[in-house]
Structure 1
Amino acid sequence: MDLFKLDGDVAMVTGAGSGIGQAIAIGLAEAGADVACFGHASKGGLDETAHRVTALGRRALVLTGTVTSESDLARAIDRVEAELGPLAVAVNNAGIAGSEPAETLALETWRKVHEVNVAGVFLSCQAEARKMLARGKGSIINIASMSGTIVNRGLTQAHYNSSKAAVIHMSKSLAMEWADRGLRVNVVSPGYTLTPMNKRPEVAEEVKIFKRDTPMGRMAAPEEMVGPTVFLASRASSFVTGLDLIVDGGYVCW
């Protein structure tokens, strides 16, 4: 349907080198967008993502930097606009995770998770909005987690959970600030997803529990986050802002 097409749009995805970010970048290209792939140079994967975007007949741009750097983000978005065109869609996916009991959690670790997951998302939104608000048009989608709504059974991750809860409420706050200026801000909150991190042999037993605890009896594929993101990026969601779209196989219903 034409409502879901992104033909002629320019999108940027942070954390586009692997997992959910890579799947979304490719999915946006499948929907017709040209895609800028932003990520940390040391983590790799960005060139592969860009290659898969161009294989779909869309333009791609590889951008390296960190979401905690205002200057990195500003330079990246200036390049997007100079080389691809006006930024219409931004997906802020970059983030980090971890698990550690609260009573032994180092303040440095807490701060690092919140710096990337909360400050990094805010700085990304801010840099993107400065371009979009000037044109009175744009869609920002922040990737949070069902862990921003519930507490995962058996996982000690107060720092991660609280960071994702902050992303959800921050996104709603930004959505309300910018609602009458043509810029929509929404959230996709994945449940347990079979990313490379969850394919490691050392987490095999945890993965069994994740599947058991999900009503649909399995984990999501990263590609299953594409449809919800394309919906929120497209005209199909033109009257949707401030939404936290939980994609979790029913987990939060238990």
Structure 2
Amino acid sequence: MTYAQRFKLHGARAVVTGGGGAIGQACSQALAEAGARVIVIERSEADASDALALRAQGHDIDWRPGDIADSARMEAIAAELAAAGDPATILVNNAAIGHSGVASEDVTDEEWLQVMNVNVNGLFWCSRAFGRHMIRAGRGAIVNLGSMSGTICNRPQPQTPYNVSKAAVHHITRSMAAEWAQHGVRVNAVAPSYIETPMVLAVEANRERIPLWLANTPMGRMGRPEEVASAILFLASDASSLMTGSIVDVDAGYTCW
């Protein structure tokens, strides 16, 4: 196998949760360009539309409706693919929600539980559902969307629920990696910095935060969705075949300071 071939995913079945959003769409495109047949999980077809538009470029991309916080639905999608003789061998746990700007003493029970239910429980439900079939097949690669927020405490905005949820994602990654390595299933994560997405740029409070974010970033800039997707492609491919349990910083050097 050549080095170039190690990055290829020809024939692989990949699932991307939240695959219609900015980073999710970039992940879907990266995997599809490498030859994978991609299924995006979104709540509605409208949410998946940006990813589905990639079909016009000849990519094999489909959609399944689902909420990652619904464990039964995640089990059903995984079982459906397996029953058709086409189980997912790549899972990108991208779907998550952000929560910032609220001091810890003002966070409500509902806000805390919502973040944990999606970012932690949902990621675990998906990993468990698709991971079972990967274990049976004896191979698979799961890539989780962590965050530098799982390592550092962001400033100036307080965001304890989000930070805690991403720290949990990192340790879920390590724990599953240690358990599933014997079954040929690798589990890694990427930990991005601030990424230029419509959601981030649309938050009015971020206009004042961004200059401080950049001042605390050695590269002096935010990241782009495709830069995160490139790291995910690497971790999903055989190019990273000796890696499992790794949290890969994609943060423009933010965590160096």
Q: Which runs of 5+ in 2 are unaligned?
A: none
More displaced, 199-208 or 221-230?
199-208
> Which of 220, 232, 236 is 1:233 aligned to?
236
Aligned equivalent of 2:160, options 137, 158, 161: 158
Q: 2:32 aligned with 1:29, yes or no? A: yes
The residue identity in structure 1 corresponding to 2:179 is E
1:68-126: CA deviations, max 9, x gaps?
11121122223444668231100001111112101111111111111110011100100
Q: Deviations over 1:218-238 (max 9, x none)?
A: 100111012111111111111
Who is 1:253 aligned against? 256
Q: Please list every run of 5 or more consecutive structure 1 residues that lacks an aligned counterpart in the other structure.
A: none
Q: In the TM superposition, what are the counterparts of 1:134-213 in structure 2 within 5 Å? A: 134-200=136-202, 202=204, 203-213=206-216
1:1-254 mapped onto 2 (5 Å cutoff): 1-41=4-44, 44-52=46-54, 54-81=55-82, 85-99=86-100, 100-200=102-202, 202=204, 203-254=206-257
- CA deviations on 1:148-193 (whole Å, 9 max, x unpaired) are 0111121211111001000101110010011111100000111110
Displacement, 1:58? 2.7
Q: Which moved more, 1:239-248 or 1:60-69?
A: 60-69
Paired residue type of 1:27: A
Quick check: 1:110–1:159 contact (8 Å CA) kept in 2?
yes
TM-score (structure 1 length as normaliser): 0.95
- Give the fraction of aligned pairs with identical amino acids, expressed as a percent: 42
Q: CA deviation at 1:30?
A: 1.1
Q: Is the 8 A contact 1:10 1:84 kept in 2?
A: no
Please tell me the residue identity of whatever aligns with 1:245.
Answer: V
TM-score after normalising by structure 2 = 0.94
Q: How many residues align?
A: 252
C-alpha RMSD of matched pairs (Å):
1.5
Deviation, structure 1 residue 48: 2.3
